[in-house]
Amino acid sequence: MAENIDLKVIEKNILKSAHQHGFFDMFIGFVVTGMAFGPFFRESLPSPHKYFLWPLILVIIADLLLFIIIKYVIQPRTGIAKPGPSLKSMRKKLFIVTFIQFVIHLTFVILLVIGIGRGIHVEGMMFILMIGLFFIPIFAIIAYLMKYPRLYFIGMLIWLAIFINELLYDPIDYRIRWLLSYGIIGGIIFFIGLVIFIKFLKKYPLKKEEVS
Amino acid sequence: MAKKKAESDDIIQPLSDIDKIIHEPARLMIMSYLYVVESADFVFLRNQTGLTDGNLSSHLSKLETAGYVEVEKKFKGKKPQTILKLSKQGRESFEVYRKKMERMLSGLSEK
């Protein structure tokens, strides 16, 4: 038990406890790895939006898994707490950041679907730089708000996957390229999450007498 | 000499007014966690405070008796679940305690 009582530290501990289980890392790793298999599966998906259907399917599967694991595996071990006013205000900020990210993504998707911007070709290092400028700050803001330092690292890894993908653009077949970039990086993120998740399960065994 | 003693008494005097229910370290920890959340269950508090089941139950009983914590017992499926929250009185007492301690400790550091 800590000897010093600091409400800010307590809030930080509560925030940290929300992602200490490592399953969020597994969630992100699953989606990134799944992206690597896109070139193998998306051809069998209905056109014209097959490029967007595959990530959508992945996110839906990952969300369902996340919901089930949190409700039946994680919460009985960690317990449940309803946030107080300052934690609620942090959640609001987090919601605003993720909402802005969602709106930017959606705008890109709509522009691509209706054909605007197809004439613009941003390739090579400029593309990597643009993606980096978009991804890394978003991950960094969420990591800061959630007191989730691993997310800085995950943001960098995802950017690295995009970099490798772009670097191997010409030399090899596109399916192998996706496996080497998103497959390996996604696998690393998933593995890190899995190790943390196993440690979490060992640290917090389920006690039968009391549930959350 | 007498003046020095009077000054020291001014600083130490608030100690006797300190709420002893809250002042105990484990209960202070429980109150602090419940202060920053709206409500929490027993498992959450046990994990966060690092107290054993028996120890936590015993401190919660004292806080409940003092009227600082509201305890709601219910069932989730067939398993019991205990939801805890600070009462209005508990929240106010904790704020008073914090202010008193801050005032007293800042007074000590200046001397």
How large is the ipTM?
Answer: 0.71
How high is the pLDDT of residue A2?
43
Which pLDDT tens digits describe chain A residue by residue (212 residues)?
A: 444 567 778 887 787 777 788 899 999 999 999 888 888 877 777 666 666 778 888 889 999 999 999 988 998 888 888 888 777 787 788 888 878 877 877 777 677 666 665 555 656 666 666 667 777 777 888 888 778 888 888 988 988 888 888 888 777 887 888 888 899 999 999 999 999 999 999 988 887 665 55
- For residue A76, list chain B residues with Cβ-Cβ distance below 8 A: 43
CA distances to A10, A90, A163 from A86, in Å: 12, 6, 38
Distance from CA of B37 to the nearest CA of A (A): 4
Question: Which of A3, A7, A77 comes nearest B36 by C-beta?
Answer: A7
The verdict on a CB contact (< 8 Å) between B40 and A81 is yes
How high is the pLDDT of residue A188?
95
pTM over 0.80: no
Across B75-84, average pLDDT: 85
How high is the pLDDT of residue A1?
45
* Residue with tokens 């690295």, as numbered in its chain: A160
Q: Collect all residues with Cβ–Cβ distance below 8 Å to B80 and sequence separation of at least 6.
A: A209, A210, A211, B73, B74
Residue B79 backbone zone (phi > 0: left; psi -120 to 50: alpha; other: beta): beta
Q: Does residue B61 carry a pLDDT above 70?
A: yes
| Cα torsion A166, A171, A173, A176: sign | negative
Domain that holds residue B24: 2-110
Name the residue of chain A whose CA is nearest to B32's CA: A7
- Characterize A83-104 residue by residue with b for buried, 16 or more Cβ atoms within 10 angstroms of its Cβ, and e for exposed: bbeebeebeeeeeebeeebeee
A 141-170 → B contacts, CB under 8 A: none
The verdict on a CB contact (< 8 Å) between A11 and B36 is yes
| Cα torsion A54, A66, A9, B39: sign | positive
pLDDT more than 90, % of chain B? 48
A77 touching chain B per CB within 8 A: yes
Of residues A165 and B10, which shows the higher confidence score? A165
Question: Which of A3, A80, A87 comes nearest B41 by C-beta?
Answer: A80
DSSP letter (8 states) at residue B52: -
The verdict on a CB contact (< 8 Å) between A210 and B82 is yes
Q: Return the amino acid letter for A133.
A: L
In angstroms, rounded to a whole number, what is the distance separating the alpha carbons of residues B98 and B64? Answer: 20
Which tens digit of pLDDT belongs to each residue from B13-60?
666 778 888 888 999 999 999 998 889 999 999 988 889 999 999 999
The total number of structural domains in chain B stands at 1
In angstroms, rounded to a whole number, what is the distance separating the alpha carbons of residues B111 and A90? Answer: 38
The verdict on a CB contact (< 8 Å) between A79 and B35 is no
Quick check: A42 and B4 in contact, CB under 8 A? no
In angstroms, rounded to a whole number, what is the distance separating the alpha carbons of residues A3 and A62? Answer: 40
CATH code at position B19:
1.10.10.10
